[in-house]
Structure formats: C-alpha cells, structure tokens
Structure 1
Amino acid sequence: MNISSGVIAKAQKVVIYGPEGIGKSTLAAQFPLPLFTDTEGSTHNMDVRRLDKPTSWTMLLQQVEFVKNARPCETYIIDTADWAELLCIEHICKTHNKKGIEDFGYGNGYTYLGEEFGRLLNKLTELIEVGINVVLTAHSQIKRFERPDEMGAYDRWELKLGNKKTVATTASLVKEWADIVLFCNFQVTVVSSGNNSNAKKKGVGGKRMMYTTHNPAWDAKNRFGLPDQMDMSYQGIAHIFNRQNDIENQQPVSQQAQEPQEPVTQQEELIKTPSFSREAQIEIPGIIPVSVADLMKSSQVTVEEIKAIIYQGGFMPQDTPLENIPQDLWNYLVTNWDKALNLLNTQIRKF
C-alpha cells in the first residue's frame, strides 16, 4: 500500500456556462495554449486555433483522440457542450434508426444519451491524464426547481443540456465530471422610478460576473477556495494553472542530474504536430454527404476505398454508382466508422 501526501499536479476539467453573448468563448481562449473544437461556429471572428467543425459525433470523438495522441495544445476546448449533445442525439437516432430521441419510449433514448455522452467525458479524462486541460463551454437556461423537502418552487439557472428528462443524465454527468464549474452572467440591478407599488422598474448595470460556488439560483463549484463572485476574467483563476506548472517543474534531484536536453519551443512543437485538417490531399465529390466526407478526409480514405468498403462489405452490388447509395447506408457508415476502417485495413488495403 502506497501513501502519498502533498498537492498532486494535474490538468483541470473546467465547465464555463452562461447566457449567449456573455463571452464564454473569449474567456476560454485565454487559457494556456488553447485549441478549439467549435461545434457551433462561435469562434469565426476570434483569432484562435481550431479544428474543423465536427459534422458527426464520430468526428468529434476522432478529434479528441487526435488531441490525446498529437498533444498540439495545453488546453482543449469544446465550444459548446450543448451543441455537441445534439451531435450525440443525432448519432444515437441514426444508430437505432429513429427519427427523434423521444421515439425510443420509456425514456430509453435518454439512457442511451447518458451512456454515449459519458463515453466522451471518459475520453476527455484521458486528456487530463496526459496533462491537457479540458474546458467545456455551454449555454444556460432558466428552469423551475422544486425542493422535495420544502413547500413552493423557484427559478434557477442550469446547464442547457437537453430538456427536463436529461437533467438527471447529461447535465449531472458534466457537473460531476468537472473540477471547476463557473456560472457567468450579467450583474443587473433593478431600480424603481417611484415609491409606490405601481412604479415602473428597469434593469441597470450589466457588468459581466463569474460565480464559483453553488447557490439556490445557479450551479457552480470549485476546489480552490475562489471567491464566491468574481469579475469575468481569466486573471482571477490563472493562478490555478500557474500552480500546476510550478509543481510540474519541481523535479526530483535524480531527474535534475540527468543530461540536459535542448529546449523545444511551443512553436517548434506545433510544427511537428500531425495535421488534422479538411485540406487533406483527397478530392471528394459533392454526392457524398459532408459527414462522410469529413471522416474520409480525417482518416485519409479515398473515394475508391469508400467504394470498396461498400462493395466488399456487401452493402451494395459491385459498381453501384455513388448517386444510388441510399442515405441510410451513408448514415450507417458514419455511426460505424470504426468498423468501416477495420474492414478497409484488414481486407482491402492489405491487398
């Protein structure tokens, strides 16, 4: 049995949520050497490094795997988690040939959703284990909350993940997974134009604030003793990530005595990083759906190879034109891309 003590240096799992336009993406972009997976296109006007917008759940999981293996960043950001959840729902419905998540009945669709989204969180935890911070941004929504031990109910801010039926699965999983949950909102003061009850009221102010601890009106948490309320700025939490670097740099004497190596700058390290770009040297006709085309580019699968998968996999007769491939088959390939690649590598490419 091993007993350890002291602070353990590790990357952090952070959730930043709030109303639209509050500046969640801008705040996330200030984390150390960030890299975005932009699921909704909110970073188009920002000078940040980003992967291609995922057009399928499978592509999103591939991007996480790429980050783990290539390590092209110090902070990986999914912007936003609720749009990623939509990709997850689409994936589940295509896999089970359903038109919507409600078509499963008895809440089974939401059970599948929790299990599949948990798979993403597990992959993101693998990034933490290799020293990469993970930030999930999300929108907020106001929901009516009823306490089981009290009379009455009240409104509160919550993560905008699914609807009422998914609060106990996706949203709860994300909150439990995170080390830090930051709720961002505009600080508004309501003032009255008179002293009587009929006087008109209006909101003034609008300063952007960040809340770090749980409150009846919102969800938040941290494990670093942060003030309950802070200005919405990375400077207030920068010490958490600086401390991580300081602890990692405190090497044992035995390691310090080793022969020094030439330092590698971040820019040189990024140059060595493999490319994960849609500009791969593969030309794909427009008849192939974008979700399939993106996976083909990221996996370096040619048009002839995708045809071979379809023909040798027994999905369609030999020499069937691409325009005659049904949409259901394209959907099947997206949701079973790993199987398609296995067929390609074991039975097609080896010949």
Structure 2
Amino acid sequence: MAISLESISRSSGIKAPRMVCYGPAGVGKSTLGASAPSPIFVCTEDGLGKLEVDAFPMMKSFQDVIDALTVLYSSDHQYQSVVIDSLDHLEPMVWKHLCETYVGPKGERYESIEDFGYGKGFILALDLWRQLLNTLDALRNEKGMAIILIAHSEIKRFESPTTDSYDRHQIKLHKRASDLVQESVDCVLFADYKTVIEKEEGGFNKIKTRGISTGQRYLYTEARPSFIAKNRYGLPSELPLSWQAFSDALTQSTSQK
C-alpha cells in the first residue's frame, strides 16, 4: 500500500464502544450487558439467572463462539450489542481448541496448555484470542454493534517496579490474554460495591479499621492501586453500575470533543 500525506483522513465520529466489565460474582455485570441496546448473549457459563434476554445456546467450544459471532456478521438482524459472558469461562475453551488443533513441526501433540512447556502454549493461544477480537471488531466496524465482554475478577499480587508490591483486583485471565484483551478495547470497567472505611479505637490505644459495604454498586473507569481500569473517552472516574449511567456519561463526554 502506497503511503503519502494525501492518504491521511480524519476520524469520522465515535464508534460503538468495546468494553470489558469485570468484577466479583453477583455484582451485576450480566445485568449491565442485558441493559445495553438490543443485546444478544453468547454464553460460556450459566450466569444469566432470571434475566430475560436473547441468547445463543450455551457455548461448548471456542469454535461455537466463533460460529455464533460469524452468524451475527453474515446475517441481517436487529441486535445492536453482543455480550460474551464470560471471558474466564471461555479461556479453557481456547486452551482446549489449541490442544485439539495444534500439530508441532515434528508432529507434536499436547493434551493440556501446560504440556507445551515454558509458557509456549499461552503464547500460541494468543492467536486464537486475536481471531476472536478481530471477529468482534468486524461486528463493531461493519455492523455497528457494541461489544461487551464480561469477566470475573481475582485478587493477585502486583509486583510494581516503582513501589512495594501490593494486592489488586485483576481480570481473571492468564496475564498474556488479559493484556491483549485490555489493549483491544476502549474501556476496562471494574464493577464493585462501594465500600467505606470505619475506624474505631481498640485496646492498647490501637485503631481498628474495617470495610463496610454500602450496598451501592459502581463502575470504576480509571485505574487505582486496588484495581485495573481504563477508558478512552474521558469518562468520570466512577459511575453508578447501570447502562444508562454509562451511556449518559459517554454521550456527554463525546459531545464535548
């Protein structure tokens, strides 16, 4: 492709968002996806509960997921959002698909992701994650669909190069896959209950602290030491956990640009 100054073009507006929403079980991540415009769910776990939404049959394999997304791409339909629920239940399917399809240069076959050795399996699995993300991008760019990826959180030790190590909430995926997914979306939103810290005096002049949940649920859009998050829209650092709150903030933010 010939590149010149004449090939430069200006971006034509804001596209439908691509997001990861992660957090503890039961906080309301699937409900957020169900509140998006005309959603269709691609479920890798039985996590919808009593939510009444359109959904493909339960996905049994990575290929099932790709096939479902391909149907959305190749067919006319009314859906405006696609929700994958959840990424961490999809990950074992990715690993299984790799083991079933990979043949090494000397005919090597492997039964588990760890059998590849030296982390090679996790690196090879990134090609499958890229296939998934490219398919989702096609739905967004050519079908105008919002992309909502649901995941659970886990607390892991973060080895900071500039400070002492500390615990933080992270997406419950292998680090390489998590990094790739985070790079590929517009928003990484941490969903959690609002917690306040209460202090009280203890014995021997010691101060005891405890965290108390307020029951209020929020979306956090910017990273903090205790969790990862990001957004490319200049959203407020925290929002009520609802699609309406996210949509309103997105509209306000993009209208100011």
TM-score under structure 2 length normalisation: 0.85
- Which residue of the partner structure matches residue 293 of structure 1? none
Q: Verify: 1:110 aligned to 2:127, yes or no.
A: no
- Which residue of the partner structure matches residue 186 of structure 1? 193
Residue correspondence of structure 1 range 172-321 to structure 2 within 5 A: 172-195=179-202, 196-197=205-206, 199=208, 201=210, 203-239=212-248
Question: One-letter code of the match for 1:93?
Answer: C
Counterpart of 1:237 in 2: which secondary structure?
Answer: helix
Q: Distance in 2 between matches of 1:241 and 1:211?
A: 14
The alignment-based identity, stated in percent, is: 34
- Which residue of the partner structure matches residue 97 of structure 2? 91
Q: Verify: 1:65 aligned to 2:70, yes or no.
A: yes
Of 152, 157, 167, the residue aligned with 1:139 is 152
For residues 134 and 112 of structure 1, do their structure 2 counterparts lie closer, same or farther at Cα, with a shift above 3 Å needed? Answer: same
The one of the two structures with greater contact order (alpha-carbon pairs below 8 A, sep at least 6) is 2
Q: For residues 166-190 of structure 1, what are the alpha-carbon distances to aligned partners after superposition, in whole Å with 9 as ceiling and x for unaligned?
A: x1x2000110000111111111223
Q: Distance in 2 between matches of 1:111 and 1:204?
A: 39
- Which residue of the partner structure matches residue 105 of structure 2? none
Report how many residues are paired: 238
What is the Cα deviation at residue 241 of structure 1? 7.0
What is the Cα deviation at residue 218 of structure 1? 1.4
Of 148, 153, 156, the residue aligned with 2:165 is 153
Q: Distance in 2 between matches of 1:173 and 1:6?
A: 24
**Larger displacement relative to structure 2 (13-22 or 210-219):** 210-219
Could you tell me which runs of 5 or more consecutive residues in structure 2 were left unpaired when the two chains were aligned.
1-5, 103-108
Retained in 2: the 8 A contact 1:211–1:220? yes
More strand as a share of residues: 2
Counterpart of 2:201 in 1: which secondary structure?
Answer: coil
Q: For residues 137-191 of structure 1, what are the alpha-carbon distances to aligned partners after superposition, in whole Å with 9 as ceiling and x for unaligned?
A: 10111110111233x21111111013xxxx1x20001100001111111112232
Q: Distance in 2 between matches of 1:239 and 1:84?
A: 30
Q: Verify: 1:47 aligned to 2:60, yes or no.
A: no
Of 18, 22, 28, the residue aligned with 1:17 is 22
Counterpart of 1:77 in 2: which secondary structure?
Answer: strand
Q: Distance in 2 between matches of 1:65 and 1:90?
A: 20
Computing the radius of gyration from Cα coordinates, the structure with the larger value is: 1
Q: Distance in 2 between matches of 1:201 and 1:53?
A: 41
Q: Distance in 2 between matches of 1:8 and 1:59?
A: 33
What is the Cα deviation at residue 242 of structure 1? 6.2
More helix as a share of residues: 1
What is the Cα deviation at residue 95 of structure 1? 2.5
For residues 109 and 80 of structure 1, do their structure 2 counterparts lie closer, same or farther at Cα, with a shift above 3 Å needed? Answer: same
For residues 192 and 84 of structure 1, do their structure 2 counterparts lie closer, same or farther at Cα, with a shift above 3 Å needed? Answer: same
Q: Verify: 1:126 aligned to 2:138, yes or no.
A: yes
Retained in 2: the 8 A contact 1:192–1:202? no
Q: Distance in 1 between matches of 2:218 and 2:9?
A: 38
Counterpart of 1:41 in 2: which secondary structure?
Answer: coil
Question: One-letter code of the match for 1:174?
Answer: V
Retained in 1: the 8 A contact 2:221–2:235? yes
